[in-house]
Amino acid sequence: MTVDMSKDMSKSAEPPAPVDPRVRRRSRSAVARSAGGDRWLTVLIGLVLLLVGVGVTLLSYGVFGVARAGRPLLDPIILDTVAAQPLLWRVVAIVGGLLLAVFGLTWVARSVRPEARPDVVLNGGADTTIRVSSAAAGEAVASQAETLPGVARARARLVGAAAAPALRVTLWLADDADVRSVLARLHGEVLATARASLDLPSLPVAVRLELERPHPTPRVA
């Protein structure tokens, strides 16, 4: 599938409209797949383990009392408390176990799930919808970005939710590329065309700049 990226560029000459802060936030989120959830959950579990480790070590060295340090790990007081109300503690254990299982499985699913690549649905008339696949839109943007002077390679993909997609563009620049000029032309030519073609006037964009590796020159001619 191909996407027509050759619309009239006269709109890009207009003064830029103020950008919604939510669009700005989405463009920052589109830079890379977020690992924020994984990081904070890992910090939380790490802190719990650290506190437990420190607490037990202090208890073990008698900081909270020598008599307490000499008591068994499975204290008869705790066993008596549990034995006094077995039904309550069974329910507590089952509910706690279920919550832990659901939470753990949800975390695994979120961590290993591939990043969403939403398609764009265009309104083609009364009873027609046109679906532009994420790959086709990305390919069209990338191939146009590769024509900019100073850009050796480009890759683009749509990311985020289907209702609020964002564009992630990676540009591999030549060593002598003028970065300001490349960004200005990407914004004014490639992205303006993409926004018009995909009918997404507020498409947030995250651009990643890399350097193209120089091709090794043969040692022997």
Partner 1 sequence: MRAVLRVLAPLLGLVLATVGVLVVIEVVAEWVLPEHEGGLLVPWPEWGAVLAGLAWSQNLVRGIAIGVGVVGLLMVLVALTARRADLRLVAPSDDMTVTTSPRVLARLIGTRVRASDDVLSASVTASERRVAVTARAWNDAPEELRSTIVDRVQELLAELPLRRTPRVAVSVQEREGVR
Buried-state track 1-10, b at ≥16 Cβ within 10 A, e below 16: eebebeeeee
Is residue 83 within the footprint of partner 1 (CB under 8 A)?
A: no
Is residue 7 within the footprint of partner 1 (CB under 8 A)?
A: no
Give the integer Cα–Cα distance in Å for 14 and 99: 54
Nearer to partner 1, 7 or 25 (CB): 25
Give the integer Cα–Cα distance in Å for 150 and 171: 10
Q: Least distance from C-beta 139 to partner 1, angstroms?
A: 20
Q: Which residue in 1, 83, 88, 93 binds partner 1 (CB under 8 A)?
A: 93
Residue 32: C-alpha distances to residues 18, 157, 167 (Å): 25, 11, 11
Question: Which residues 140-179 are close enough to bind partner 1 by CB under 8 A?
Answer: 175, 178-179
Length of the chain: 221
Site string for partner 1, 183-212 (x = CB under 8 A): xx-xxx--x----------xxxxxxxxxx-
Q: Which residue in 70, 114, 125, 218 binds partner 1 (CB under 8 A)?
A: 70
List the one residue out of 114, 128, 148, 137 whose CA is nearest residue 199. 137
List the one residue out of 81, 75, 50, 52 whose CA is nearest residue 67. 75
Q: Least distance from C-beta 198 to partner 1, angstroms?
A: 14
Residue count, binding to partner 1 (CB under 8 A): 79
Q: Which residue in 9, 43, 83, 88 binds partner 1 (CB under 8 A)?
A: 43
Q: Which residue in 16, 114, 125, 216 binds partner 1 (CB under 8 A)?
A: 16
For the chain, what is the radius of gyration of the CA atoms? 28
